[in-house]
Amino acid sequence: MRTFRRYRKGEAGIGSIVIKFYHSGDQIRGYLRKVTDPEQEEDTVFPSEELQVDDAFLMAENKHREATPIFVELAEGIRWNPAWGRLI
């Protein structure tokens, strides 16, 4: 079972991968970003179209470093699905 960490601003180190899930119509979609230096205005967003949930997890696993967890941010109204793994 995959384990992910809930994203909270300031807890993810520079270079960490964050998946943000949000509503797109009646579906859940996601995008990835990499946490940058706090002095920069915004994190680096990976260019992509809206990703389906499984594709977002796969892309995040391909980009993250073994020593760091993958963080997940849930937009308002999105509930974690236990089938996706464990969110701590």
This model's pTM is above 0.85: yes
The per-residue DSSP string of 10-71 comes to: TTSPTT-EEEEEEEETTEEEEEEEE---TTSSSPEEPP--PBPHHHHHHHHHHHS-TTSPEE
Q: Are 74 and 19 in contact (CB under 8 A)?
A: no
Q: What is the pLDDT along the chain (88 residues), one digit of tens a residue?
A: 889 999 998 889 888 999 999 999 999 999 999 888 777 767 777 767 789 999 999 999 988 777 788 999 999 999 999 999 999 9
Q: Are 13 and 35 in contact (CB under 8 A)?
A: yes
Residue 87: strand, helix, or coil: strand
